[in-house]
Structure 1
């Protein structure tokens, strides 16, 4: 296994958080991981992104350029910027709540997830990022769901444990969305 995922959206959508959670979950399962956030001017209203790699073998470079196995795309500028970085045969998960445009590529599998609506139905619109992470986990299964929940606590601390039930529901609903 050598999963290379680009996660992208607007600053404030929790992109860095889900990338970090995925990387931490990989560490908890003794996998080789890399998490490379992009902190730059794009965080001021433009595209914020990170690259996360979870692998059974050592990661040579944290940089993902034109060789991502997947992309989690939360907004239209991110789709425009990263759609072509996914390898043929890869998967793109698109937040169809905010993106009304279809992917232009025909050599990748594309999944449209109404992440914002699902999160609102769960009672917290901020959980849209976890819905998208759940969709990714369902498609690739690089780590176990239980490990992701443990990683959530490691990343955010025990004082955020009260948010675990909501985030678990969001992950499960994201998985359901791509199984349909």
Structure 2
């Protein structure tokens, strides 16, 4: 098993954190893991993406040109990475701010209204956990228990009071994800 993932969006959307939590979760399941962030000089509002590879074999390189899964949180990321999803792969996107929806018919496309749900719950900081929950529903490669451990490891201790709401956000994402077009 090898899963090659790109997570992309604006800085401040929790893109890198989501990738780090997935990577920690894989480590806790004795997987080989690669986590490679990429971001511009801006802290918030600039583009950010992270490549995560989870595998039961050695990973030869974290540098990827195509992906099994793309988790895309803005239009620029959708435009850039939709063509780079392998045929038969998965594209998961947050609908907020999307003006052109995915168009490919050779991949499985899923939609999550994570920004809208985080706003409804009056906590924009959990949007990325809603998206992560959606991904885990689609591809349960790592166990929820390990995701929660990864979340605890990646959150600074001063934010550990947020662990229960983040867990609820992951579970809510699992409920909300919708398949748009199956291959």
Task: Report the Cα distance in structure 1 between the residues aligned to 2:45 and 2:165, rounded to whole angstroms.
Answer: 27
Aligned-pair Cα RMSD in Å: 1.6
The answer for the alignment partner of 2:25 in structure 1 is 25
Point out where structure 1 has 5 or more consecutive residues left out of the alignment. Answer: none
Query: Aligned-pair distance for 1:43?
Result: 5.8
Task: Report the Cα distance in structure 1 between the residues aligned to 2:49 and 2:42, rounded to whole angstroms.
Answer: 9
**Conserved 8 A contact 1:73-1:95:** yes
Task: Report the Cα distance in structure 2 between the residues aligned to 1:111 and 1:177, rounded to whole angstroms.
Answer: 10
Point out where structure 2 has 5 or more consecutive residues left out of the alignment. Answer: none
Higher helix share: 1
Moved more, 153-162 or 37-46: 37-46
> TM-score, normalised on structure 2?
0.91
The answer for the alignment partner of 2:162 in structure 1 is 163
> TM-score, normalised on structure 1?
0.93
Matches within 5 A, 1:133-172: 133-172=132-171
> What do residues 93-142 of structure 1 show as CA deviations (whole Å, max 9, x unaligned)?
11012214210211111111111111122331121111111111111111
The answer for the alignment partner of 2:115 in structure 1 is 116
Relative to 1, partners in 2 of residues 1:21 and 1:27: Cα closer, same or farther, differing over 3 Å? same
- The number of residues matched between the two structures is 179
